[in-house]
Structure 1
Amino acid sequence: MMKRFTMSGSLPKLQFRKDKSKARWDAEMGMAEVIEKRGSLWTSMRVVRRSKAYCFIEEILYLAQIGVLVLLDADDTVLSLKDICEKFAEGKNGCHWEAFEAYRHLKSLGYIVSRHGVPWTIKSVKSFPELACLKGTTESNEIADRISEDKLSIISLLKDLHINEVRLDFDVYLPNSKFRKSCPGDPSFILRLNQGPTTIESRD
């Protein structure tokens, strides 16, 4: 089942909160490493590789807008919301404005949203068919180790996804207080976003 819709609207004003998480921007990756994590929002956000957590540009902008994230530059200079928007507007980090509007809207409704094809953790073996029949075996552990060092290294993964292309797909899950990134299950639907009409692909 395919549906079409469009979204528009101005960016919300920056909100201010006392307890904030911190992340440091990595220009080479086009992502930010989370260096101080506070609050429950992280339960369904960020990806974890080699014991380090990273967030995508849409997550950074969303969290900065609601006032729960401070983004630092490589020299630990605090970046303003305007600075973050300028990084976003460069279009080099895998997300365009139309995609962000959809992401922000779904997050505001409580949905869990992630980039399609990017597992949150190495433990998300369901995302890799080659591991499904080997789960729990010595061979599966060896394969997972190889994936963690090669295929799932953050930079190579992003290159494989061709992040500079105009299309971006999101996996969307229904609101769920018991959601676990290590075992997310199948998404409720996939949101396919182009710089133009947007489509929803139902999983039913």
Structure 2
Amino acid sequence: MDHIHLQHTLPQVFAARDTVISQVWHQDIVFDKGKRYLIEASSGTGKSSLCSYIYGYRRDYQGIISFDGRNIRSFSVGEWADIRKHSLSILFQELRIFPELTALENVLLKNRLTNHKKKKEILALFEATGIPDKTDERAGKLSFGQQQRVAFIRSLCQPFDFIFLDEPISHLDNDNSAIMSRLLMEEAGKQGAGIIVTSIGKHLELEYDETFRL
């Protein structure tokens, strides 16, 4: 996948508003593979909805979203499974960690579907993000910031053309945020992938090609 194209896309819940001032909603914009994008937003302007629409598990929007010219509403369940396995990765704002599984089990669950990384590579990511001692601890017992790092590692355990990170560092300090930025750039660089980050304030420090105000 090389391009994600939004054409006059708008959450249906916003449709009754007289005016919507946004550089994303109801605009014509293209995200290109290999580029880095920051989407700045105020709370309640639909940034998580945007990720949900593009990832294909919500359809309550107007307009068109297309991948390489094909409307995503036309994809079958099987095609979506393939896209999410090989083309799109996401770090959800709410993380979607399984609390009863260990931190490592949460990551391996994803990696077994993709066989993208060797276990030693995954353990190296735990080391790099400062949580090597948390691999065998149940994820539900970790702090939110630690869970963010587990979810981040999980998001890297697949091939992708684009990776979405929805408020990925809301509970991380500057040092850990810098580490995440470095690891993200390394992985995206290997795959020639596009990066799309959302933020309501604190954001990953990357050299963004474009910044949009939602």
Bin of the TM-score, shorter chain as denominator length? under 0.3
TM-score (normalised: structure 2): 0.27
